[in-house]
Structure 1
Amino acid sequence: MIENTASLRLKFAQQRWLKDVRILEVIAVAAIYIACARLGQLFAIEPSNVTPVWIPSGVMLALALRFGPSIWPGVFFGAFFGNIWAYISFDSIEATLNAVASATMNGIGDVICVIVAAELIRRYAGTSRILKSHQSLLYFLGFGALLGPLCSALFGVGGLWLFGHISTSQFNHVFVTWLMGDSAGVLTFTPFLLSWLYPERHFGMHSLVALIAAAAYSLLVIAIVFDVIHFPGHIDYAIFLLLPMLFALLFRYGQRLIFTVQASVLSFAIVATWLSHGPFSSDVPWISLLQLQSFAAAFSIVLFMVAILNLEKTLNEAYLEKHAKELEELYRKDALTGLWNRYRIKEFIKIELERQKREMSPFAVLLIDIDDFKHVNDTLGHLEGDRILTELAALIRSSIREIDFAGRWGGEEFIVITSKTNQGALPIIAAKLLQAVRLHDFGLQKPLTVSIGSTISTIGDTELSVIDRADQALYRSKHGGKDTASFRFVQGKH
């Protein structure tokens, strides 16, 4: 009864903790939305405070792709409170209710824009990593940068029009500005955030230095283009000559660098245009900012292509690396037992001989041969023989240290090489192997046994000499009654 009560209390505490976490998640998402909305509204244009680049659309879509649809309440409340203060009025109850109704439609539109788009991307692309392939990119562009913003604009601008915040004559360009703003926000900030929310392979100090250098150079170039910085003479042209190096960095260092450069350049372009600098500066603000949105979309698509090419390069390199390792294992491992084959055994002995010269520390070689294995093959068949070989290989591997080496020398012969082993330890190792085989049930009528021949390496040994001594010792075991171990050392020590 006490245990049941304690269990119920623990379950209740867990549920309460999860509820608290969910509330904190909603508050955090809503707070992020409102902060991004306030930042975006710094660049708002009339009528009705419509922003040219809606930062929350990109940020929320990245969070929905990374953390799932459970963030939707935070998106709704963030959209509601992030927008209502732009047009709320307390002059009358009707004006206040109209503002609440418009903000509610805005929140619904943003939930559809973000959550539904993220789920459609995840469902059809099979991943939330939007730039893993050409297909996932198309789904991101279709659902995230087009369909989602379209729904948001329909609900958001529709709410403004229905409740009297804009007139019918203003509807079209407000709708286009809203749609383009959401799309620009998605194209600019979603890939950037996802590149940092997901881990990236091989991103170390070199990558960080390259990222900082690429971002700084990109900002310098865009500052020149937007007439924010002026250099004397032909220095501008010299700076532009380094553009191929920027593209080399983009191809070399991956999506995190690419999308950091994209977000940096577009953020700078937005601020510069808002301050009436650069090629998109115009006496008509909303036309100027629509041109900026078109530039942002085109620039983003170009960098998406670069990111896809970089991804393909990375995937191809990973594919080649994987198959190179597989091929290496094929010519270095025995296909039946999974132990190292004769080629790798010879390599390892050479490595041990070199180590012995440096450290003056010998190693042991044990040749293990199954007694009367031909009889097993002749009476039970080769399939049963293969099973026994595989089982014995696993038994040998489990009976030695992790640092020791086990291989198949050929046929029914196996080899074990133990580093830093002296003559005193060798009989113990051999006895352990013999006992492991005796105690193991191979499923045969007659117990399976092995014979072992072993030796210790000495200075001046070669690959052939150390194997030859172990083979001589094995010969002695096979002709001395089997199921035993013999030792052959230099100067005839046994």
Structure 2
Amino acid sequence: MAAVVGCEDLRRPGGYIVRVLAVAACYYAAGRLGLLRELSVEGAVVTPIYPPTGVAVAALLILGLPCWPGITLGALFVVLSLTGFRPDVLGTLFGNTAAPVCAVLLLRRAGFRSDLSRLRDGVALVFLAALAAMLISSTVGVGVLVLTDRLAAHSFWPVWLAWWVGDAMGVLLVTPLLLLLRQARWPPPLGRWKEATALAVVTCLLVPVAVYASISLLFLVYPLIIWAALRFQLVGGVLCALPTSVMATIAATDGAGAFAGLGRIEVMLKLQAFNGAMALTALLLSAVIIEQRNTRNSVEKACQELVEVLEHLTAGDAPPPRSHATDDGDDRPWPTGTS
């Protein structure tokens, strides 16, 4: 009853305002978190992972498209925390709002399920929400910078690529995590805590070595991603990929480990290739495993139902039990009412 009352309250004007402000606050907090690590590309400051895009897509999927003003408001606060208000800021706000809205519209058109239980859901999130829809924010944002002479025309493509990949990575890494947290069962089951603890320990020990080694050992991370996806599906894959991506981003912005001695463009390309491949591996492999598990469960359930139907039919066709049979082999029953 409490949950029903809460949902009814949120449909009222006051509840709508609360949702919009909550989306704006989460967007702003994620934006400030993403700006802690920056890369300078052709004089423009970009973030390798921009979490607000993932927050925006998840918020619209969970709370509905009418909450889009919260994205605009949160993006405005992020921009104002960096610079003053200028006319070109309106273009940036439009792009940052339109991209998540278009992502959700494309996902709905594709029949997306927020539980990510099918391979088509993972593919839709990757190619429609992350790669396709985020073209809007990057194109509009960088285009406005060029049109207002805040960025040289020859720098359009490098900055555009960094902007696009940063927004796409936010969707690939943050949106699945928020959707899973919404559907998680609390408290979680304790049956496989030992294996989960072992995976967490190995990840904490191996990832820093792979990222900060003087030689490139980033490939060592992929067996961990595969282990997490195989044994813990999407929850394990995302929870393993996200901290790994964050640690790689820290090393890249510091120019340390596998990213030492590289130029800014080379650092960006190497980091985004690593993050993108890792996120795709975790998301798509987990989706395939979940779909196969659901298919197996459906087949087992269908087989069980078939067995029950056959047992029922067999019991209905069986001849009735015989009684009062003679001992001389005559199977006819004794006549009734005679002496």
User: Which category describes the TM-score, using the shorter chain as reference length?
Assistant: 0.7 to 0.9
Give the structure with higher Rg (CA).
1
Counterpart-to-counterpart distance in 1, 2:274 and 2:136 = 22
How far 1:271 moved relative to its partner?
1.4
Identity over aligned residues, as a percent? Answer: 24
- Structure 1 residue corresponding to 2:72, chosen from 48, 70, 76: 76
Number of residues paired by the alignment? 312
How far 1:119 moved relative to its partner?
1.8
How far 1:38 moved relative to its partner?
0.8
Counterpart-to-counterpart distance in 1, 2:184 and 2:138 = 33
Indicate if the aligned counterparts of 1:45 and 1:285 stay in contact, CA closer than 8 A.
Answer: yes
How far 1:251 moved relative to its partner?
1.0
Aligned match of 1:121 = 107
How far 1:39 moved relative to its partner?
1.1
Q: Which residues of 2 match residues 295-314 of structure 1 at below 5 A?
A: 295-314=274-293
Counterpart-to-counterpart distance in 1, 2:235 and 2:278 = 16
- Structure 2 residue corresponding to 1:165, chosen from 123, 140, 150: 150
> CA RMSD, aligned part only?
3.3
Whose strand fraction is larger, Structure 1's or Structure 2's?
1
How far 1:71 moved relative to its partner?
1.9
Aligned match of 2:190 = 205
Name the aligned partner's letter for residue 22 of structure 1: Y
Counterpart-to-counterpart distance in 2, 1:194 and 1:296 = 20
Summarize the Cα distance change of 1:102–1:45 in structure 2 as closer, same or farther, 3 Å threshold. Answer: farther
Whose helix fraction is larger, Structure 1's or Structure 2's?
2
Residue 43 of structure 1 aligns to a residue whose secondary structure is coil
Summarize deviations over 1:272-319 as a string: whole Å, max 9, x none.
222222212345334312320111111122223321331133123212
Indicate if the aligned counterparts of 2:103 and 2:129 stay in contact, CA closer than 8 A.
Answer: yes
Residue 207 of structure 2 aligns to a residue whose secondary structure is helix
Q: Does 1:291 align with 2:249?
A: no
Counterpart-to-counterpart distance in 2, 1:210 and 1:34 = 36
- Structure 2 residue corresponding to 1:42, chosen from 36, 45, 55: 36
Residue 110 of structure 2 aligns to a residue whose secondary structure is helix
Indicate if the aligned counterparts of 1:282 and 1:288 stay in contact, CA closer than 8 A.
Answer: no
- Structure 1 residue corresponding to 2:233, chosen from 254, 259, 268: 254
Counterpart-to-counterpart distance in 2, 1:31 and 1:196 = 18
Indicate if the aligned counterparts of 1:121 and 1:128 stay in contact, CA closer than 8 A.
Answer: no
Higher relative contact order (CA 8 A, sep 6+): 2
Q: Does 1:279 align with 2:264?
A: no
Q: Which residues of 2 match residues 433-472 of structure 1 at below 5 A?
A: none
How far 1:156 moved relative to its partner?
1.3
Counterpart-to-counterpart distance in 1, 2:121 and 2:170 = 19
How far 1:212 moved relative to its partner?
4.1
Counterpart-to-counterpart distance in 2, 1:155 and 1:208 = 46
Summarize the Cα distance change of 1:64–1:210 in structure 2 as closer, same or farther, 3 Å threshold. Answer: farther
Aligned match of 1:65 = 61
Name the aligned partner's letter for residue 102 of structure 2: V
Counterpart-to-counterpart distance in 1, 2:151 and 2:222 = 45
- Structure 2 residue corresponding to 1:51, chosen from 47, 50, 64: 47
Structure 1 residues not aligned, in runs of 5+: 1-13, 89-95, 230-235, 336-340, 343-407, 414-474, 481-494
Counterpart-to-counterpart distance in 2, 1:244 and 1:40 = 27
Summarize the Cα distance change of 1:211–1:193 in structure 2 as closer, same or farther, 3 Å threshold. Answer: farther
Name the aligned partner's letter for residue 140 of structure 1: L
Aligned match of 2:161 = 176
Indicate if the aligned counterparts of 1:210 and 1:249 stay in contact, CA closer than 8 A.
Answer: no
Aligned match of 1:321 = 300
How far 1:15 moved relative to its partner?
8.4
Summarize the Cα distance change of 1:154–1:245 in structure 2 as closer, same or farther, 3 Å threshold. Answer: closer
